[in-house]
């Protein structure tokens, strides 16, 4: 399985004042692609899953924000969602391991 970096040249994440509908997002991606010299995958952070938003914030960089406060708000909100959700994620991993062990038997 290829990683995101191998399969897509650039991922551009946006957060708009009002969430974009799919046709608007696709139209915006088309205009963005016309001006780019490489493949672009445009994704919306509006309602993005916690893990995905966290990966974008941690592994990406902001290329434009209306104000520094806007960028800080997005980063802070994403980190808060991540840290609030992390204990549930860890418990899910534990439960998955327990279910797998029940099915396959204890590892030796």
pLDDT tens for each residue of 58-94: 988 888 888 999 999 999 999 999 999 999 888 988 9
Structure-token pair, residue 88:
């549930």
pLDDT grade for 1, boundaries at 50, 70 and 90? very low
Backbone angles phi, psi at 68, to 5 degrees: -60, -30
What pLDDT shows up at residue 60? Answer: 86
Residue 13 phi/psi, 5-degree rounding, is -105, 140
pLDDT at 107: 67
What is the rounded CA–CA span in Å between residue 3 and residue 56?
14
What are the pLDDT digits (tens) for 5-54? 555 567 788 888 888 888 998 998 899 888 887 888 888 888 889 999 99
State how far the Cα of 28 lies from the Cα of 98, in Å rounded to an integer. Answer: 45
Say which DSSP state 62 is in: -
């Amino acid at each position: 399985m290829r990683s995101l970096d191998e399969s897509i040249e650039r991922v551009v994440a946006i957060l708009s004042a009002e969430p974009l509908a799919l046709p608007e997002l696709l139209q915006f991606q088309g205009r963005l692609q016309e001006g780019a010299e490489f493949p672009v995958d445009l994704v919306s952070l509006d309602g993005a899953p916690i893990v995905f938003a966290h990966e974008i914030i941690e592994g990406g960089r902001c290329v434009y924000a209306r104000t520094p406060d806007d960028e800080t708000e997005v980063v802070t909100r994403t980190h808060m969602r991540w840290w609030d959700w992390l204990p549930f994620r860890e418990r899910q991993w534990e439960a998955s391991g327990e279910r797998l062990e029940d099915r396959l038997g204890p590892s030796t």
